[in-house]
Structure 1
Amino acid sequence: MPRVRLLTLLSGSVLATLSTAAAAQDSLDQARAAQQATLPAEEAQNAPATGATTPPDESNDVVVTGTRVAGRTRLDSASPVDVLSAAALQRQGTTELGAALAQVAPSIDFPRAAATDATDAVRPATLRGLSPDEVLVLVNGIRGHTSAQLNTNGSVGRGAAAVDLNTIPTVALDRIEVLRDGASAQYGSDAIAGVINLRLREARSGGGASVTYGIYNTDIDTARGSRSVTGEHTVTAQAWQGIGFGDDGFLTLSGEYLKRQPTNRADFDPRVTPTRVTGRFGDPAVQQYTIFANAGTSLADNIQLYGFVGYQDRDTRGAAFPRLASATTTLAGYPNGFLPIINTKSNDINSALGVRGELAGWNIDLSLSYGWNKLAFRTLNSANYAYGAATPQNFSDGALTYDQWVVGLDVTRKFDVFQSLNVAFGVEGRRESYQISPGELASYGVPATGAVAGVAQGAQGFGGFSPRNAVDRSRRNGSIYLDVEAQLTDKLLVGIAGRGEDYSDFGTTATGKVTARYDLARWLALRGTVSTGFRAPALQQQYFTSVASVVQNGAPVLTGTFPSIDPTSAALGGLPLRPEKSTNFSAGTVLRFGGFDLTVDGYYIKLRDQLGLSENIQVSATQSAAVNAEIARLLAQSGTGATAARFFINGLRSTAKGIDVVGHYRLRTEGAGAFDFTVAGNINKIEVTRVPTSTATLDPAPTLFARSRVLSLEEGTPGEKISGTIDWSLGQLGALARVTYYGNVNQPGTTEAGDINTGRNAITDLEVRYQATKGGQFALGVSNLFDVYPDRSPTQNNTTGVVGFPYYSPFGFNGRFLYVRAGLNW
C-alpha cells in the first residue's frame, strides 16, 4: 500500500472513529459537571465517575523535555513529546525497557539481534529509523552514558555505540518522555533524531512487589522443517519502596532480578546426516540484577538536594556458529564438534548528585553525574586450534570499559515581557574515557612451543583482545547554551536556542534551533521547528580494535577492526573522524476536544558526514592480482592474523522524512468502566544520497561502502509501524488489547539474491488484570497471540542452517509468549 494512502487511512480512521465518541464524551462531561456542581467544593473535586477507574489523562502531563518552561504540558509544547507512563510499560509480557518502550512508542524500534557477539547482550534501540547513537538518552534530565560496546557485526545499528536502555528497570521509572525532534542546540551531541528522558520514580511512602513468569508456546516453521516449543521460560522479580524523611524528603528504592533461558529458532543443518538443528539462534541466556535509589530533600527554603544511583550486574550467554565434527575439532578434543558460547559480563553504574534552588530571582540547578560500564568477555565450550589437544575449553577474552563524568549548571528565569519570557542558559563539562584490556594468551594467540601449524588461532567464536588491541584514551568537552521561549501573544509562542561545544579531539561546533507554535483556536494549534544538530564520533568508534570471526555470506571470516588512523587503515583509505551533522525541519498540528486529542507531525532530516563501518577489505577474485597482493601484505604487516580489515569512515549523506500520528481518546462511562483508546503510527523513509569513496592509492581502490550497508540504513527498520490499543478498567479489573502492524524490513545480502525480507506482519497482544491500589494484583497475558513470525530465511541464504529467520525483524522472531504476573501493593 502506498505510504500516502496508508497515512490518509490512518488519520481518517482516527478522526472518523473518535470524533463521534468525543462528542458523546463532551455531553457526558457536561452532565457530570452539572451533577458535581451540587456537591461541596472538596467533594466535587474528588468525585469519581461511578463504577469506573479512570486512566490517567496524559494530555495534561507536564513535560520537562524539549522545553525549559515550567508547567508546560505535552499538548502545549512547540515540539512533539510522547509521555509514556510506568503502567503502560509494565502492562505487557516483557520487562526489558527497550522492548517495552518499542511496544508503546511507534517511532521507536528494538530489533532482537542474534549471532552478533556482544550486540546480543547490549541491544540498541532506534528512533525514526536513524542510528541508535543519534538519539540522546537522559536520566532525570541528565545525560546518560553509552555502553562500552561497539556494534561491529551486521545488526541494525552496525557501527553505533549507544546507551543500553536495559540497564534501568521499568520498576524504577515513573514515566518516560520521548522528544521526537532534533535537540542538539538544547542538549548537545547525539540528539539528532530526538531525546529519550527516563524519569525515575519519586515516592515518600508506599511500595510494591511482583513476579512475572512466562514461557514460549510456539510452532517454528523454518525453511527446512518444523518443530514446536513449549518452555524457554523467563522469570522477573521486581520491588520498590518509598521512604519519607523530614518535611519533604524522599528515598525511593527499586530492585529487579531477571533470569531468562535462551531461545533457539535455528533451522535444520543440511551439512549433517540425518539433518538436525546444530546451532542456537535466538535470545541469549540472561541472568541479571539491578538496584536503584532516587532521593531528594530540602536543605533550606527554596534549596533542594537530589540524587540517584543505580547498579546492574548482567551475565549474558549467546551462541556463535557451530563447529561441526572435523579433523581439527577432533584434535582439539571435540570429536563430535562443538558450539562456542560467548559470555558477556556487564557491570553498569548510573549516578548523579545535584542541588537546585532560587538565587536572586533565578532558578539554578547544579549537577554532577558519573556513568560507568564494563563488559568482560569469555568464550566457553570452545577451542584454540593452534593449541591442539592441549587447548583450553574456556577463555578469558579481555574487557571493554567506558566511563563519563558530566558537570552541568542550568539557570532559568521567567520575565514579565510580552505575555511571558523564559530565559535559560548554562554550561556543561564532560570527560569521557575508554579502555580495552587484553585477554589471556590462549584467547588470541599461539602457545610458546608446540603450536599446530596451518590452523586458525584464537578462541573459536570470539577471539580475545591481544596486547596490540590495548587502548586507554580519554577526551574532554565543554559547552555553553542559551535557550529563550517567548509567549508573544495569547496565540503565538516562539523559541530560540543556540549551543557551542568544544572537544579536545576534533575542535568546536555550533548548533541552533528555532521553534514556533500558533494556536488558531483553543482546540487547534500549528507548530514547527528548524534546527541543526551534530554527533561527535564516539571514543569507541575512534579507537576500538579487535580481531574476530565475522560471518560473511554464511561463513566466518577472521576480520581485523582497526582505528581509522591505524597504519593499516590509513593505507587502505582511513582518515581522522569528524562529527556528523544534520539539519532538521518539522511541522505539525495539535487537535483536541473533549476527551480526544490528535497530533500529526511531519519531519525532514538531512544528515551529512555520517559515520559508517567500512566493508571487509580482503583478497577477492574481483580485484587485480596487484591489489590483492598489497592487501595481503598490509594484513600480514598488521601482525594480527586477520584475513580482512575494516575501519570507520565519514562521508555518508542521507535524508529521513516521515510523519508521526498519535491519537488518544478517553471515555468514562457510568457503568461499563473507563476506556483509553490510542492509535499511533510512524511512516518513515530513509534515503542514502551519497557514499564515501576510498582515498587509498590502490588501483582500483577497494569499495568502502557497498550495497548491503546502504540498504541496511534505508530498509533495515520498518517504513510503516502502526499500533492500536484499547485499555479498559472497571474498579479493580482491567484489560488491554494491542495490535501493531510492521511494514517490511530488508536484511540485505551482498547481492539482491541474498536479501532476507521480514514481510508485513501484525502482532496482537492481550492482557487481563486484577489490580488494587493497595493489596494483591494479578495478570494473565499473551504476547504475539497468533504466533506470527517474520518470513523465514530461504535455504539459498542459509547454507549452514543457523539463521532461521531475519534478525532485523523489528518484533523479533520468538513466537507466542504466555505470561502470568502476581504481586502486592502497599
Structure 2
Amino acid sequence: MQKHVTEKTVVALAIASLFSGVAQAQEAAVPDTGPAATVVVTGTRVANRTALDTAAPVDIISADTLKNSGSTEITQALSMALPSLNFPKPAITDGTDTIRPATLRGMAPDQTLVLINSKRRHASSLVNVNGSIGRGSAAVDMNTIPTAIVQSVEVLRDGAAAQYGSDAISGVVNLRLRTNRSGGEAAVTYGARKTEYELWNSAAPAGGTWTAPASRERTDGQTATVSLWKGLALGEDGYLTIAAEFKDQHRTERSGYDMRQQYPRLASGAFDPRENTINRFNAWYGDPELEQSTLFANAGSNLGGGVKLYGWASYQKREARSGGFFRPAQDARNIISIYPDGFLPIIAPTVDDFSATGGVTWQLGSWDMDASLGYGKNKMQYEIQNTLNRSIGPTSKTEFDAGGYAYDQLVFNLTGVRALDVAGLSSPLNLALGMEARREGYELFAGEPDSYRAGPERLPGGAPTAPGAQVFPGFRPSNEVDAHRNAIGAFVDLEANITPQLLASAALRAEHYSDFGDSLAGKLSARYDFSKSFALRGAVQNGFRAPSPQQQNFTATSTNFINGVPFEITTFRPTDPVAVALGAKPLEAEKSVNASLGAVMRFDPFSITIDAYRIDIEDRIILSENLTQTNVFNYIASQGFVGVGGGRFFINGVDTRTQGVDVVVSWPMKLAGAGNLDFTVAGNFTDTKVTKVPTTTQLSSLPGTAPILFDRLNVLSLEKGQPENKISANVNWKLGPWGATFRATRYGKVLQAGTSAALDFWMGPRTVVDLEGRFAVTPKLSLAIGADNVFDQYPETQPPALNTTGNTPFANYAPFGRSGRFIYARANYGF
C-alpha cells in the first residue's frame, strides 16, 4: 500500500490484523528489576509502558551487555547479543572495509531504521557497490556512536514505516543515550588476535619449486581502546553527559600463499631466483588498520513551567587503511622501475561524521508536545597509496587524492501526544499526531587529475593501458554531483486497551518526496492476554523505503580498452541518458507488506517468546550487473553515445519474500550462595526467496543473448548469503566481586554464490564460543580478561578455483568474519 492507496486497501489491512502479545526483552533479567521491566519508547508512544506491556517484540540490550564483550564496536556487540542481527566483515571491498553494514532478519542494511533517542540518525555517504552483503545499499554507520554514551539499545523486530517513516521495513534500532548528572567511568581495553588457520595446498607453475605451508600462525590485529564518560549537573535538575573514545586498531592479515609467478622469466627461460625468497603472503585480507577519535555529548535542562530542553552532538574522525589485490612484479599494470617486487595498492579513506540535535518538550493543554531539529553529515574522502597510474609511466606519483562523497540530512519533528477518555474502552485512548520535514543532500567530488587521467604511456607492443590510480581510479569532474531533495510527512498513532485482555494499536503515515512522489503506510497490531502466563501478539502492515540520494546520484567511471580503443565503463545515475536508453527509470520507493504472529509464555521467572514473520517486498532497488556485452555496446553506439562501452545502474524490480521465526527463552536464577545466573537461549530462522527479477524492454529486445540485469550470483546472495539460522546461548553469572559471561553462537550454513553452480561455495555451520571473567578489585575498579572465538573457528577454505590469486582463502560472506581468536583484557574505573 505504497502509492495510490484506496480506502478498500485500508479496510483490508484492518480485517487482516492479527493478535499480538506482550513484548519480551531479549536479555534475561530478574522480573521487575531488569531490562524486561525497563520503560521502552520504541514501537509505542504510550508513556511508562515496559517491555512486557508493548504490542510488538522489543529486545533491550543494556550498557553492561555492550561493555562485557571483547569488541568495542557497537555493531559487533549487538550482533553478539541478537541472533536476528548479522554483521559480516568483508575485505578487499574498497570503502565497505571501513564502513561495514549490519542487517536485521536477513534483510538489506538500508531496510533497518536507526534512531538516536527516537530521532532519525543520518546514513553514511558510502553506497556499497562491490560484491558483499548489502550490495547497492547506503546504511547508517552505527560504529560512529561510542558504547560509552549508550544507556541501552532497543531493537524493535517489526516493520514500523507507519510509525517512523522510510527504512523501517525489517525493524528499528533505537540507541538511548545516558542522562547522568553525576558519576562516570573510564575504561581501557587492549587485545590481539592469536590464531592459526589452514591453507589450501595448490601447485606452483610448471618448473616452480615454492610450496605453500599447510597452516599459518598469526598474532596481529592489536587493538587499544580508551573510553570515558562523565555525568555533570546542569542547574538543579539538568544534566550533561559527555563521552570520548579513542581507538587504535592494527590490521589483520589472513591471505593465502600466492602461488603465482611473480617476476618475468630470465633470458634463459628459467625462473628468477627471487621467486623462492619473496614473501608470498602479500595481501591485506582481513580487518583494516583504523585510528578513530569520537566525542559525544547529551544534555537536558528543565526551564520550569513544564518546558524542557534537550540535545546531543557528536563528532568522529576515522582514518583507515585496507588493501586491494596484489600486483606481481610482472603484472602489466606494474612499472618495474617503481615497484621491482610488485605492489599492494592501499585504499585509505578518511571519514568525518558530525551530528547535532536539539529539541524542546512542553505542555499545551492536555497535549505533551515535542519539537526537535537535527542535522547530520557523513563525508568520506579517499587517498590511494602505494599505487601508480600506469598510463603516466615511470614519472607517476604513488599516492593520489581520489575524491569522495558526502551525505547530509536536516530533520524537523513536531509531535503531540495525549490521552482521551473514550466510553467503552478499558483504558484511555493514547493519541499521537505529528509531522516530519526532511532535507537530504548528496555530494560527489572529483579527485586530483592524476588519479583519473590518461597519460601517454603504452604497454609493451604498443597497446594502451587503463588510466587512473590502480585499484581505485579517482572520481572525475564529469562524475561530480550536488543534489538535494525534500520530504514531508504526517502521521497519526492510536493505542488503547479495548478490553482488559485486548490491547490494540493503529498507525497511519503519509509522506511526500520531491523526487519520486507520495507514500502511504498503515499498521494494525494487537495483543491478547489469555492469562498472566500466556498471550498472543501480532501485526499486519505495509511499509516503504524511499530510494536514497546515494542510489539516485552515485556515479563513477573507469576506462577499458576494446581492440585498442578506450571506452568508458560507468555506474550511471538512473536518469542518465545512457541508462535511460538501456531502460532505466527514475527510482521509486520499495513497497512491503509485513505480517507477524507470536506467542508469549511466562512462568516467572522463566519465559518463552516465539514470533513468526513474513515480509513481502516489491520493487527492491538493486544495482544491476555490469552490462558490457557486445550487443549492449553496439546498441549504445546505435543510440548515438560515442565512446561508451557499457556500465551499470540502480533499478527497481526485484521482488522478495522473507519468512522466519524468532525464539527467545529467558531464565534468571538465584543460586543461593552460588550467586545469580541469567540464562538466555535465542534463535533466528530465516528464509528468503527472490520471486521476480527486473527486465527492460530495450535489453530484452537486443539481438543474441539478452543481458541479465540481476543474475544468479546476486539472486543467490539475497537468498543464501546470510545464515539460514543463528542460535545463541548466553550465561551471565555474578557472585560478590566475581562475574563471568559465557556465550556460544551457532551460525547456520551460508552460500557464497558463483557465476555458475560449479563455482558455488557453501560454508557449513560453525559454533563460536566467547568467554569473559571479571573481578571487582575495589568498588570502583574492576578488571576483566576474555577471549572471543575461544576455539579459533574459521569458515572453510576456498579451493584454488575460487581463490586464483591466493589472496582470499576465505569467503567474504563468512558471517562471523575470518580473523580467528581475539584475546583481550579490560580495566574499568568508576568515579
Structure 1 SS opposite 2:673: coil
Query: 1:749, CA displacement in angstroms?
Result: 1.2
Structure 2 SS opposite 1:671: helix
Counterpart CA distance in 1 for 2:156 and 2:389 is 48
Query: 1:56, CA displacement in angstroms?
Result: 5.5
Residue in 1 aligned with 2:483?
A: 473
Query: 1:523, CA displacement in angstroms?
Result: 1.8
1:427 corresponds to 2:427: no
Change (3 A) 1:78 1:137: same
Structure 1 SS opposite 2:393: helix
Residue in 1 aligned with 2:24?
A: none
Change (3 A) 1:97 1:332: farther
Counterpart CA distance in 2 for 1:710 and 1:73 is 40
Structure 2 SS opposite 1:814: coil
- For 1:633-684, what per-residue CA distance to the aligned partner results, in whole angstroms no more than 9, with x for missing partners? 8898356xxx551111111101010000111111123311111101110000
Residue in 1 aligned with 2:15?
A: none
Structure 1 SS opposite 2:52: helix
Residue in 2 aligned with 1:688?
A: 690
Counterpart CA distance in 1 for 2:749 and 2:197 is 20
Letter in 2 for 1:253: I
Contact 1:255 1:290 in 2 (8 A): yes
Residue in 2 aligned with 1:714?
A: 719
- For 1:721-753, what per-residue CA distance to the aligned partner results, in whole angstroms no more than 9, with x for missing partners? 000010000112100100000001111111122
1:266 corresponds to 2:255: yes
Residue in 2 aligned with 1:753?
A: 758
Counterpart CA distance in 2 for 1:432 and 1:628 is 35
Counterpart CA distance in 2 for 1:774 and 1:501 is 52
Structure 1 SS opposite 2:181: coil
Residue in 2 aligned with 1:70?
A: 47
Residue in 2 aligned with 1:392?
A: 397
- For 1:311-356, what per-residue CA distance to the aligned partner results, in whole angstroms no more than 9, with x for missing partners? 0000011100011112652356112110000001000012210001
Contact 1:171 1:239 in 2 (8 A): yes
Query: 1:772, CA displacement in angstroms?
Result: 6.7
Counterpart CA distance in 2 for 1:383 and 1:676 is 56
Counterpart CA distance in 1 for 2:32 and 2:370 is 33
Give the count of matched residue pairs. 761
Counterpart CA distance in 2 for 1:365 and 1:663 is 37
- Pairing partner for 2:678 from 658, 663, 676: 676
Structure 1 SS opposite 2:609: strand
Structure 2 SS opposite 1:299: strand
Counterpart CA distance in 1 for 2:640 and 2:790 is 51
Change (3 A) 1:122 1:195: same
Residue in 2 aligned with 1:117?
A: 94
Change (3 A) 1:548 1:798: farther
Letter in 1 for 2:57: P
Aligned positions of 1:365-444 closer than 5 A: 365-417=370-422, 418=425, 419-444=427-452
Structure 2 SS opposite 1:617: coil
Contact 1:694 1:702 in 2 (8 A): no
- Pairing partner for 1:485 from 483, 491, 495: 495
1:185 corresponds to 2:162: yes
Which structure 2 segments of 5+ residues have no match?
A: 1-27, 202-213, 262-274, 561-566
Residue in 1 aligned with 2:264?
A: none
- Pairing partner for 2:304 from 293, 300, 306: 300
Letter in 1 for 2:431: V
Change (3 A) 1:68 1:483: same
Two-structure CA RMSD over aligned residues (Å): 2.0
Structure 1 SS opposite 2:226: strand
Residue in 2 aligned with 1:762?
A: 767
Residue in 2 aligned with 1:539?
A: 549
Residue in 1 aligned with 2:611?
A: 601
Structure 2 SS opposite 1:390: coil
1:350 corresponds to 2:327: no
Q: Which stretch of structure 1 is more off in the superposition, 267-276 or 131-140?
A: 267-276
Counterpart CA distance in 2 for 1:468 and 1:183 is 39
Contact 1:485 1:493 in 2 (8 A): yes
Contact 2:128 2:137 in 1 (8 A): yes
- Pairing partner for 2:104 from 127, 130, 141: 127
- Pairing partner for 1:822 from 812, 815, 827: 827
Residue in 2 aligned with 1:322?
A: 326
Which structure 1 segments of 5+ residues have no match?
A: 1-21, 30-53, 551-556, 620-624
Residue in 2 aligned with 1:661?
A: 663
Structure 2 SS opposite 1:385: coil
Identity between Structure 1 and Structure 2 (%): 46
Residue in 2 aligned with 1:649?
A: 651
Residue in 1 aligned with 2:184?
A: 207
Counterpart CA distance in 1 for 2:512 and 2:416 is 20
Contact 2:220 2:251 in 1 (8 A): no
Letter in 2 for 1:367: S
Counterpart CA distance in 1 for 2:44 and 2:122 is 22
Query: 1:231, CA displacement in angstroms?
Result: 2.9
Counterpart CA distance in 2 for 1:603 and 1:332 is 60
Contact 1:574 1:695 in 2 (8 A): no
- For 1:405-457, what per-residue CA distance to the aligned partner results, in whole angstroms no more than 9, with x for missing partners? 0000010011233222100010110000000010000101124x778760110
1:517 corresponds to 2:527: yes
- For 1:269-298, what per-residue CA distance to the aligned partner results, in whole angstroms no more than 9, with x for missing partners? 121344822211111100000010000010
Aligned positions of 1:74-89 closer than 5 A: 74-89=51-66
Structure 1 SS opposite 2:162: helix
Contact 2:93 2:130 in 1 (8 A): yes
Residue in 2 aligned with 1:97?
A: 74
1:629 corresponds to 2:629: no
- For 1:38-77, what per-residue CA distance to the aligned partner results, in whole angstroms no more than 9, with x for missing partners? xxxxxxxxxxxxxxxx996222111100000011111211
Contact 1:536 1:578 in 2 (8 A): yes
Residue in 1 aligned with 2:235?
A: 246
Q: Which stretch of structure 1 is more off in the superposition, 118-127 or 745-754?
A: 745-754
Contact 1:499 1:512 in 2 (8 A): yes
Counterpart CA distance in 1 for 2:639 and 2:70 is 51
Counterpart CA distance in 2 for 1:146 and 1:558 is 30
Structure 2 SS opposite 1:100: helix
Residue in 2 aligned with 1:500?
A: 510
Letter in 1 for 2:659: K
Structure 2 SS opposite 1:192: coil
Structure 1 SS opposite 2:245: strand
Letter in 2 for 1:313: K
Letter in 2 for 1:262: R
Contact 2:454 2:468 in 1 (8 A): yes
Contact 2:187 2:826 in 1 (8 A): yes
Letter in 1 for 2:475: F
Letter in 2 for 1:267: G
Contact 1:774 1:824 in 2 (8 A): no
Change (3 A) 1:511 1:763: same
